[in-house]
Structure 1
């Protein structure tokens, strides 16, 4: 089904694969009559060409990228614009689109969600941007329909910013990276590796894009095969996939932890741009006659089966047939894995009670968002369900079209009526089910979803309140097949259906009549509308020569998601209020964290205010006495804060709040064995936090310990990687930390205390 190559590969004429070895270049010469080096061939990828066209450094080893367009949604754009305003923003220098698809329900926090929307509209007017009102489109569908372009690069403040199937290299990052673009700065990264995803064959009937995506995620996530690399989709199988099918695979590449994606483009993608009335944005893309890749994921589409990602990660994959055939064994394994994520005994967790007469019963089905809500997915689901009904028991089915144009066409061609007749309910374009703000299942419920993630608690339950529910990811077709069987898990390969494949017609008047487009037309006289929940970032202190940090949370899960660092769902309403949101930090993972962090933060607040540190936080007096038995350190000149340890933090969402919430609570560092994603580490750096690495299994410190780092400022400025630190106890126990590779700008950001301070210092 899927093969991972152990070595790099040369792709010749887009179809012949030559694995890298001592004879590889001779084989390439024999096939092409052209002698090339590996370095020359590496320039033959589509990714290299796009990155080169957008790089401003003049050095392809260390890129400084300027993006063509930016996009954000309503739980990220307020913080981004507030940061940019504090850093000197005058106008948006590139098209910046503000969509409203996360706080759309306006159901939590009184008026504050709609206040955010009005803030966004007035900022689009003042600074010259585009504003997409609530319920018009989910962020990524609008970008596909209106923003993507062949050979272009797009940066978004949502992790699923992926438009590679349309020939656009797109990346999802934390808000500060968009701030840099808004201030005419660059996105600075080393040249990423590029891994080919070679598709061959044709999917079987009933197999959808989510099935292919989950199979790939299952093959590459655990081993980090594509971590922080670009996935480049090539091969004869691409031509056998519709544009919608490719988009459905592409959006899920985020769950592999890759940096970005790009696909070969053809007449089907040209048709996509024609349908959306943007023929000028199509560009044919393909690798050069010889292209070198750092690895290859070889996918035989004809062997992909309908898949299911069991709780609590998209990589926890099985075929549906395999699950049904080995039900109790697999459920037992899932339950054991869940104990790690659920801290063993906070809740009673089982899935075996879902087995009714030897079949797995689920309580809910959802087809939604940027992954599931596409036209083709919903049409195929309607074909499977036509003439059937979902029943009057616990099982429910909700369908969320990804945009108003998609919704309108589904109304016109009758598919909405077909679905409603079955008992399914139809919602507007809204991302809620994906992050826990819509269609929350019952306690102990199991929901099957064509959406992007199934992390613990992401669907809205709260372990700390004794609640738990589970999400399994599936394709819309198998969700429909399950719905046709009234909630009993069913593979779409096992239903008799004729897929009608109706043609899609895009009606642009919906956007023309409703979306505010002020791109390139800033009006400085417009007054920004603020609501009472929209707050400025608090002042943040600069790094001092030495630093004292207290371990206030210790997480030993194999991976810690950003949903666990700052929960999604109801917290989204407070994301325009840094201090208000910070109250939720680690609330579903370590409820004591906020109190511990605040207690330490009192010392730093007193230090900055010139007050007595020991009165504010008495326990640090003993800490400094022990430090000064070995070193001469003045408390009034030493930054004092908190830190968390996690084995591998940062998988999942790009949201900067996973880091900024720690910072506004007085957090100055993370220590990790490794960071799950580049974007989370970047968020730490942009908020002035030290991204320490400690790669040993046995920790020299424990929760509650204080750590002293001597000459930390000098180490950052002088590019010293190995740093001596000390656990403060009866003895000063020495150990080593590492900072990893940092750009000069990143080092200065850390020294200044955060990105806002960095830019203010240059004004």
Structure 2
């Protein structure tokens, strides 16, 4: 079977939405190449260009300053966003802001703190004019699809899977600081991104679902960074082969490619979807111009995609199920080697022992849930497979989480919920927990197959430090249901008869659950109301402005190829403490480098001594060595700000949660040093929390406990940042000069870092105005 995904070298022209002409052809490789406009002119023919132009306030398409049509947060992030915006002077929500309660829904950890945050969220919606979606009613992205997304709109959310491109909406997931800027009527500032065509042709074969299409794309583009920080624009005749709800399932997974956002061409099926949800007025046809230029092209033959499985510990670790079965022992052995690294000698995961005597793979758990798996089309296909079947009474168990109450209502009405439950599946309410470790944590050494968004290490809830390690493999709901019907024996959906499948299932949207339970307060702010604070909700601690010279002590050094945000600040039960900045910070890097918090606190104690007027004895010798080495400013240690830093090769893949950066900051972090940042959103979080986003070429020559002295950093942030001199002081007293750099920052980002954090920046701005 040929590879279903092809990546083009260089840019391409798309002519009449159907014909791809590579830039190599146009540049002279063929004499009969058509006459086409230059790339700069033809870039304006993309769908993305038109939407970005409509939302840009700068007048300069190279430097975008965007305002969004709506905002969204869930109950891990909205308290911090509102607290920050309130401290910055916000008086009401200027655009629809949806507060959902789909992450800390179960209220099972930390006593009252989760429900206290929900009460806070409702009080904020009333005070500032927001939309409040109570627990169990909808996961964040399903509500936004059903009630907010529309053609030509832009939506910003504090969740990395903020993706509504299949509904003609360019949606971006970012840290809370970027939403705060929108709440203060500021802008989202970004250089004009690369736009990459995802050209779809053919049609999925029966049994192949949206997760299969998505995993095939992720497998092809992630490692090479083909679409990193780019817009993925889905075009081509294959779009029409998929109903809109199916497209939604592909689209939400684009986050795992590390792209910035996505957009799809729209058609009558898009109109029908919006009309069914009472919003036909939000439809408009979106297509590229007759000639459009793209900075790259991902060409996907949908008919060549087969059921996929992404093995632990990343969505890009993907194989066709038939490919896995043909090389089962070799592939599983490779995963076991990676698991040994994740376990760090404290825990292990065995997979080879899950191969049955007949050579097939036995799994222990299946989950269909969240913004990717809980869509109506997916759960309906699972119900079709399991009608009249059984999941068995052995070790395998299946849970199904419809993504919203309207989806659940339709399943109850048409009998799908009955079929699932009769087969032994557990049908639950809308909840994101299985996707980030707050629900359905498997048994130690178990293998779970899930139609959710991520399978990063420990994201399913295990704790290697306590001797626990499990594995999650991502699959489509169709193959999960086929596996469930086989009692947990891995089975591809295409092994079932074709007449099982019908992707264009009828759906009736019943909005009564929303009408009866969702608080709709936009445009009706009650400013005199008080916010309701539970005892765990704490204000952000004070943070210093950046000094001219800084001394960084390395508190962690992570040499993994990629460091996820879940490793920087674990998800799952720890997220219950997210409304208490210092309380949550206690968990920073706890599953990756448990000694980090203690080291960072020790550095913060040195800075406290300095602020008290004393040069800490521990660093006096460091400054002596710096003076001897001729480092500028080292002769006045009392004026040098002391803070911690982490080094990671490529941090920030994964969640948009700003806590991955803010937890470092409240522990006294002043910088990150990296080879590169995995995502824009994590780098933005670093800057919004007042940390310098350093990078360096080559391998780091410092270790944990060494010092990195950076003189003149505040001045450097006012000018060129491509070569910043720094000095390393090692534990043995050796001094070495190194060179750091900072990639381009906007003038506002520079000002935020110099101010010490976004809150300080906004307070200073308010005083000056």
Q: Same-fold call, TM > 0.5?
A: yes
C-alpha displacement of 1:720 = 2.8
Structure 2 equivalent of residue 623 of structure 1: 622
Contact 1:54 1:67 in 2 (8 A): yes
Structure 2 equivalent of residue 354 of structure 1: 354
CA distance in 1, matches of 2:152, 2:29: 32
Q: 1:678 aligns with which of 677, 680, 683?
A: 680
Contact 2:26 2:33 in 1 (8 A): no
Map 1:294-313 onto structure 2 (within 5 A): 294-313=295-314
Q: Is 1:603 aligned to 2:603, yes or no?
A: no
Aligned-partner SS, 2:765: coil
Structure 1 equivalent of residue 153 of structure 2: 152
Structure 1 equivalent of residue 437 of structure 2: 436
Contact 1:578 1:664 in 2 (8 A): yes
Q: 2:639 aligns with which of 620, 632, 637?
A: 637
C-alpha displacement of 1:346 = 2.5
CA distance in 2, matches of 1:22, 1:749: 46
Change (3 A) 1:153 1:27: farther
Contact 2:25 2:33 in 1 (8 A): no
Change (3 A) 1:129 1:626: same
Aligned-partner SS, 1:75: coil
CA distance in 2, matches of 1:276, 1:560: 39
CA distance in 2, matches of 1:626, 1:481: 66
Map 1:349-428 onto structure 2 (within 5 A): 349-357=349-357, 358-428=359-429
- What TM-score results when the alignment is normalised by the length of structure 2? 0.97
Map 1:35-434 onto structure 2 (within 5 A): 35-343=36-344, 345-357=345-357, 358-434=359-435
Structure 2 equivalent of residue 761 of structure 1: 764
CA distance in 2, matches of 1:166, 1:639: 49
CA distance in 2, matches of 1:534, 1:3: 49
CA distance in 1, matches of 2:430, 2:476: 18
Structure 2 equivalent of residue 728 of structure 1: 729
C-alpha displacement of 1:636 = 2.4
CA distance in 1, matches of 2:635, 2:526: 52
Q: 1:559 aligns with which of 555, 558, 562?
A: 562
Q: Is 1:516 aligned to 2:519, yes or no?
A: yes
CA distance in 1, matches of 2:75, 2:401: 18
C-alpha displacement of 1:622 = 2.3
C-alpha displacement of 1:21 = 2.2
Aligned-partner SS, 1:23: helix
Q: Is 1:539 aligned to 2:542, yes or no?
A: yes
When the two chains are superposed, the root-mean-square deviation of aligned CA atoms in Å is: 1.4
Contact 2:566 2:655 in 1 (8 A): yes
Larger deviation, residues 346-355 vs 686-695: 346-355
Contact 2:348 2:468 in 1 (8 A): no
Aligned-partner SS, 1:588: coil
Contact 1:340 1:557 in 2 (8 A): no
CA distance in 2, matches of 1:731, 1:695: 21
Aligned-partner SS, 1:579: helix
Aligned-partner SS, 2:429: coil
C-alpha displacement of 1:738 = 0.6
CA distance in 2, matches of 1:29, 1:420: 62
Larger deviation, residues 624-633 vs 204-213: 624-633
Structure 2 equivalent of residue 702 of structure 1: 703
CA distance in 2, matches of 1:720, 1:383: 58
Contact 2:312 2:473 in 1 (8 A): yes
Contact 1:174 1:654 in 2 (8 A): yes
Q: Is 1:646 aligned to 2:648, yes or no?
A: yes
Count of residue correspondences: 755
Aligned-partner SS, 2:76: coil
Aligned-partner SS, 1:205: coil
CA distance in 2, matches of 1:129, 1:582: 28
Structure 2 equivalent of residue 743 of structure 1: 746
Structure 2 equivalent of residue 21 of structure 1: 24
Aligned-partner SS, 2:545: coil
CA distance in 2, matches of 1:536, 1:526: 19
Mind listing any 5+ residue stretches in structure 1 that lack a counterpart? none
Q: 1:527 aligns with which of 516, 527, 530?
A: 530
CA distance in 2, matches of 1:712, 1:462: 39
Contact 1:715 1:721 in 2 (8 A): no
Contact 1:152 1:167 in 2 (8 A): yes
CA distance in 2, matches of 1:78, 1:168: 26
C-alpha displacement of 1:704 = 1.0
Contact 1:44 1:291 in 2 (8 A): yes
Contact 2:77 2:158 in 1 (8 A): yes
Larger deviation, residues 504-513 vs 135-144: 504-513
CA distance in 2, matches of 1:215, 1:505: 31
Map Cα deviations across residues 363-412 of structure 1 (whole Å, 9 max, x no partner). Answer: 00000000000111011011111111011111000000000000000000
Structure 2 equivalent of residue 659 of structure 1: 661
CA distance in 2, matches of 1:472, 1:443: 15
Change (3 A) 1:30 1:621: closer
Larger deviation, residues 328-337 vs 496-505: 496-505
CA distance in 1, matches of 2:30, 2:43: 16
C-alpha displacement of 1:700 = 1.7
Contact 1:18 1:24 in 2 (8 A): no
Contact 1:29 1:35 in 2 (8 A): no
C-alpha displacement of 1:721 = 2.3
Q: 2:13 aligns with which of 10, 13, 19?
A: 10
Q: 1:578 aligns with which of 581, 586, 595?
A: 581
Map 1:471-510 onto structure 2 (within 5 A): 471-496=472-497, 497-499=499-501, 501-510=504-513
Aligned-partner SS, 1:384: helix
Contact 1:28 1:35 in 2 (8 A): no
CA distance in 2, matches of 1:179, 1:231: 26
CA distance in 1, matches of 2:314, 2:418: 34
Change (3 A) 1:373 1:653: same
Change (3 A) 1:761 1:89: same
C-alpha displacement of 1:528 = 0.4
Aligned-partner SS, 1:43: helix
Contact 1:558 1:647 in 2 (8 A): yes
Mind listing any 5+ residue stretches in structure 2 that lack a counterpart? none
Contact 1:363 1:447 in 2 (8 A): yes
C-alpha displacement of 1:38 = 1.4
CA distance in 2, matches of 1:305, 1:295: 24
Contact 1:341 1:557 in 2 (8 A): no
Map Cα deviations across residues 205-235 of structure 1 (whole Å, 9 max, x no partner). Answer: 1100000000000000000000000000000
Contact 2:349 2:471 in 1 (8 A): no
Aligned-partner SS, 2:45: coil
Contact 1:363 1:445 in 2 (8 A): yes
Map Cα deviations across residues 494-527 of structure 1 (whole Å, 9 max, x no partner). Answer: 0125235541000112111111011011111111
- What TM-score results when the alignment is normalised by the length of structure 1? 0.97
Contact 1:71 1:156 in 2 (8 A): yes
Map Cα deviations across residues 656-703 of structure 1 (whole Å, 9 max, x no partner). Answer: 00000000001111111111000000000000101111120x322111
Contact 2:391 2:485 in 1 (8 A): yes
Contact 2:396 2:487 in 1 (8 A): yes
CA distance in 2, matches of 1:10, 1:321: 35
CA distance in 2, matches of 1:23, 1:484: 52
C-alpha displacement of 1:584 = 0.3
Map Cα deviations across residues 444-474 of structure 1 (whole Å, 9 max, x no partner). Answer: 0000000000000000000111100000000
Contact 1:674 1:695 in 2 (8 A): no
Larger deviation, residues 348-357 vs 309-318: 348-357
Contact 1:367 1:451 in 2 (8 A): yes
C-alpha displacement of 1:611 = 4.0
Aligned-partner SS, 2:24: coil
CA distance in 2, matches of 1:341, 1:271: 46
Aligned-partner SS, 1:643: strand
